[in-house]
């Protein structure tokens, strides 16, 4: 699974951080970013839930 954040869409709502704190954090620019090494099979369901919850549809998931 490939996970990225479209920084042009992210509006720093942090829903992703609340849903999947092991995967997403807000960077110094206040935009979400994916923590290195966090895209693991165990975290997939949290990543998909976060992508669903993002009000800006800014989380991109590809298989
Ligand atoms: S929920 Fe979406 S808009 Fe909010 S910080 Fe995460 S990626 Fe950005």
Q: Tell me: the pLDDT tens digits for 31-42? A: 999 999 999 999
Distance 28 CA to ligand 1 centre (A): 14
Nearest ligand 1 atom, CA 26:
5
Average pLDDT over residues 1-15: 97
Q: Which of 51, 60, 41 is nearest to 20 (CA)?
A: 51
In the block, residue with structure tokens 């009000």: 55
Which residues sit with their C-beta closer than 6 Å to ligand 1?
A: 5, 10-16, 32, 54, 56, 58-59
Q: Which of 53, 58, 56 is nearest to 34 (CA)?
A: 58
pLDDT for residue 32: 98
Where exactly are the structural domains of the chain?
2-62
Nearest ligand 1 atom, CA 56:
3
pLDDT for residue 54: 98
- The class (CATH top level) of 2-62 is alpha beta
pLDDT for residue 52: 98
Cα dihedral angle (17, 13, 58, 44), rounded to 10 degrees?
A: 20
pLDDT for residue 47: 98
Q: Tell me: the pLDDT tens digits for 19-35? A: 999 999 999 999 999 99
């Amino acid at each position: 699974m490939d996970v990225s954040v479209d920084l042009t869409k992210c509006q720093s709502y942090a829903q992703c951080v609340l849903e999947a704190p092991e995967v997403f954090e807000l960077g110094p620019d206040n935009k979400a970013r994916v923590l290195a090494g966090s895209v693991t099979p165990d975290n997939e369901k949290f990543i998909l839930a976060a992508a669903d919850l993002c009000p800006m549809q800014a989380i991109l998931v590809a298989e």
